[in-house]
Amino acid sequence: MDKTGATKPTFLWRGILILLPLFLLAGVGLYSLRRDRLTAELDARDRCQYVEQIYSANIDGWLVQRMAALSLTQKVGMSIVIDGKGNLFSLDGSKTRARIPGTPVPQVPPELPPAQAAALHEARDAEYAKGDISDAIAAWQKFIALSPPAPYLSRAKYDLGLLLSRRNETAAADKMLAEVQADRKATTEDGLPLWLLAEFQRTPKNSPNRQTLYRHAVDNPSFLTPAILEGGPWQAVWDKEQATRDFYLHVSDELHAHPAEARAFWTKWDQQEWLVLVRPIDGVAPAASMFLLPVEKPLVLQALQDVLSSNSPPQPGYAQLGVEIAGEPVLPVNQNWPLLAKNDADLDISSAGLQTLQAVTLCEYLSRPELLYAQQRARTLWFAVLILGSAVVALAGFVSAYRGFHQQLRLGEMKSNFVSSVSHELRAPIASMRLLAESLQRGKVPDESKRTEYYGFLVQESRRLSSLIENILDFSRIEQGRKKYQFEPTDLDFLVEQTVKLMQPSATERGVELKLQKAESGGNGAVYCDGLAVQQALINLIDNAVKHSPRGGVVMIGLEREAGRFKLWVEDQGSGIPAEEHERIFERFYRRGSELRRETQGIGIGLSIVKHTVEAHGGRVVLRSAPGEGSRFTMDLLDRPAMKD
């Protein structure tokens, strides 16, 4: 790498380039997810707003009508008009007004002149004395003859009529009662209309006039009315009018507090909540007259649901509608839900769009956020998986780039060491060869035996050089992928013996003894291998063993054969190799110890060639070594390797 002394290359920028896209991706993704969520929320608001506007228009147009229609079934009259005098009118379905009469008021009769008063006493005494009925009739006839004032006269005629009918003088009785019936003003002391009582007496059960009687009884309410009606068809009308009167009494204070104001309010009557819509009527009746529509709460709710469900778009599944009418929740909701849309709606209380009352509030709440955000959540999940996947990949890339970077750095360093090692290794033998050759050339070695020794040295050194160069060439072929192995039958015993012999001189030079140990059992036939390559590998191992052996040490070389495989091992008594370096020493250019001190000879490629050769033979190298205990390298090779060139 950079050996110029300039800044050392760092991994920082590469790391940033690898990881930056990941962070950018994550950032952009998170941002768009956030936008996604906001968009979903905005859509929901728009949709709810739209739905609410339609609801609001429906309520405006139909709710009062629907409530009015439903209120026909309720206890209180459907709609009530109160005139300026406090008279109640109920409007039936066809909008005609029927007066709801007030209850009778007791009448104080005028004072009678003494003669008439005496005659009245006499008549009453005769009637209640249980004596002869004729006496009573005569007494009443006498009183009538005195022409008493109007109320007394009709009462007397009524009593007389009843007595005559008891005496079976039907025609006379009926005439008398008919006269009473004709006087519409006469009342009893309690204020009961006498004419009605007369009519009751004159209209037997099977008479066709009975319906008229019932109507008269209902229109002139008193404690007698239920007795006259006897639970018949008019009873329901009566009950409703009674209830209406009672209801009016209940709300009248509230009504008259603001007589000229249209409004809606709730009231509790007959154990029920009632919505009351009030509107002053102009030009119809005196100023204080007003229109009243009371609707009981269940009917309000039903009308609301009818109106909401007709011609409306469906309510979104994630939202729930809350409706308030006159400040009271009719469709209640959980107030903790987030509000999506809010609209006001009018109540058309004039039923012709002329007068409206802003009394309804519609609110859409987000009741099921999980539905609204379902899609977005799925996207988040996918995105998280994507980011996680990218993170894992980027991290793997980062780690591998980081390791590659450091490997490159180390390799670069080792290569430059290699060059200096090679130069170093070449310099010594070349220098000594030059010295020897020069001495011989100049004839400076007269002694014949000395000369022979010098020639021996020259051969020795040039062999070492050849072996070194051979190793380098081999290595370069391996590196370039050009190394070819020639598998052929090889005499293994011969090969090993020859190699040991070859290495003998350099071992002797270092004071190391080489010993060959062959296992007896294995047989001695030829094996199928690349003899030259195996020999070179063995040379490398023996060379290492010799180099690392102490002077006087022994290097054992062994050959073992088994069926289909053979082992060649070299064992020394040298310094040994710590376990953590057992793998690394097989890496190319790797040399133990400090490069600067060059503690051992060598150029760091011998073992990598051994490994390559053994693996090309389908085998493996086994190292057994520990510091201070020597080393044993075993080449475990297949006899018939599968890979044949």
Encoding tokens for residue 389? 């996947």
> Least distance (Å) from ligand ADP to the CB of residue 524?
28
Residue number, 80 or 605, with CB nearest to ligand ADP: 605
d(CA 307, CA 54): 11
Residues that bind ligand ADP (CB under 6 A): 540, 544-545, 548, 572, 574-575, 577, 585, 590-592, 600, 602-608, 631
C-alpha span between 455 and 458 (Å, rounded): 5
Rounded CA separation 548/81 (Å): 125
Decide the pairing of beta strands 488-490 and 328-331. unpaired
CA–CA dist 360, 561 (Å, integer): 104
H-helix or E-strand spanning residue 394? helix 374-441
Which residue's Cβ lies closest to ligand ADP?
Answer: 602
Compare residues 222 and 631 and give the one whose CB is closer to ligand ADP.
631
Quote the tokens at residue 297: 């709460």
Cα torsion 6, 7, 11, 15 to 10°: value is -110
CA diameter of the chain? 202
Question: Does residue 268 contact residue 274 with C-beta atoms inside 8 Å?
Answer: yes
Nearer to ligand ADP, 393 or 626 (CB): 626
Q: Give φ, ψ of 568 to 5 degrees.
A: -120, 125
Find the shortest distance in angstroms from Cβ 580 to ligand ADP: 13
Nearer to ligand ADP, 151 or 553 (CB): 553
Q: How far is the CB of 618 from ligand ADP (least distance, A)?
A: 22
Minimum CB–partner distance for residue 532 and ligand ADP (Å): 18
Cα angle 153, 157, 158 (rounded to 5 degrees) comes to 115
Contact assessment for residue 216 and residue 199, using Cβ atoms and an 8 Å cutoff? yes
Start-to-end CA span in the chain (Å): 37
> Which CB sits closer to ligand ADP, 114 or 628?
628
Nearest distance from C-beta of residue 626 to ligand ADP, angstroms: 11
- Residues 545, 602: contact at Cβ < 8 Å? no
- Tokens, residue 309: 């469900």
- Closer Cβ to ligand ADP, 274 or 418, answer by number: 418
By beta-carbon proximity to ligand ADP, the closer residue of 320 and 417 is: 417
Taking the complex as a whole, the smallest distance from the CB of residue 420 to ligand ADP amounts, in Å, to 12
State which residue, 341 or 577, has the beta carbon closest to ligand ADP: 577
CB of 601 to ligand ADP, least distance (A): 7
CB neighbours of 232 closer than 8 A, spacing ≥ 6?
A: 214
Please report, as a single letter, which amino acid is at residue 98. A
Q: How far is the CB of 428 from ligand ADP (least distance, A)?
A: 14
Structure letter (DSSP) for residue 193? B
State in angstroms the smallest separation of the CB of 574 from ligand ADP: 4
The residue among 242 and 544 lying less far from ligand ADP, judged by its C-beta, is: 544
Give me the least distance between CB of 479 and ligand ADP, in Å please: 14
Please, what is the minimum distance in Å from the beta carbon of residue 605 to ligand ADP? Answer: 6
Burial call 510-519: b when 16+ CB within 10 Å, e when fewer: eebebeeebe
Of 343 and 417, the one with the shorter C-beta distance to ligand ADP is 417
What's the closest the beta carbon of residue 502 comes to ligand ADP, in angstroms? 17
Name the packing angle between helices 235-257 and 210-219 (round to 10°).
20
**DSSP, res 99:** E
Three-state secondary structure call for residue 265? strand
Choose between 518 and 624: whose C-beta lies nearer to ligand ADP. Answer: 624
70 versus 468: smaller Cβ distance to ligand ADP = 468
Collapsing DSSP to helix, strand or coil, 270 comes out as coil
Q: What is the DSSP letter of 72?
A: G
